Amino acid sequence: MNIFKLAHLILIDMANSKQAIKRARQNAARYQLKHSQRSQARTAVKAVKNAIAENNKESATELLKAAEKILDSTASKKVIHKNAAARTKSRLVKAIKAIS
């Protein structure tokens, strides 16, 4: 049994009312969804940073387009703050422009 399911069961067992049980169930499901979306965004940003580290401007530019789409999507779903997404995109663009 993975940790998520174990934590999920513990939270539901701790709840004392129907409302609390439902909220615990919703929070667990929401956490699982947001966690995977946040992880996907981090992976996309990491791919762009790796391309920048290799001084590969063409690859970094292509990966940036994909990363921007993912960051905008996660920001619109309130997984990350919109300013955090904008700041990350800005820093990546700045780093790509710095590649000679």
Parse the chain into domains and list their residue ranges: 3-98
Give the pTM. 0.79
Say how many C-beta atoms besides its own lie within 10 A of residue 24's C-beta.
19
**What is the chain's pLDDT, residue by residue, as a tens digit (100 residues)?**
565 665 656 666 777 888 888 888 888 889 999 999 999 999 999 999 999 999 999 999 999 999 999 999 999 999 999 999 999 999 999 999 999 6
Say how many C-beta atoms besides its own lie within 10 A of residue 25's C-beta.
14
The CATH code belonging to domain 3-98 is 1.20.58.110
Using DSSP, state whether 55 is helix, strand or coil: coil
DSSP category for residue 18: H
Which pLDDT belongs to residue 8?
A: 59
Using DSSP, state whether 15 is helix, strand or coil: coil
Which pLDDT belongs to residue 16?
A: 81
Which pLDDT belongs to residue 76?
A: 97
Structure tokens belonging to residue 15: 């709840």
55: left (phi over 0), alpha (psi -120 to 50) or beta: left
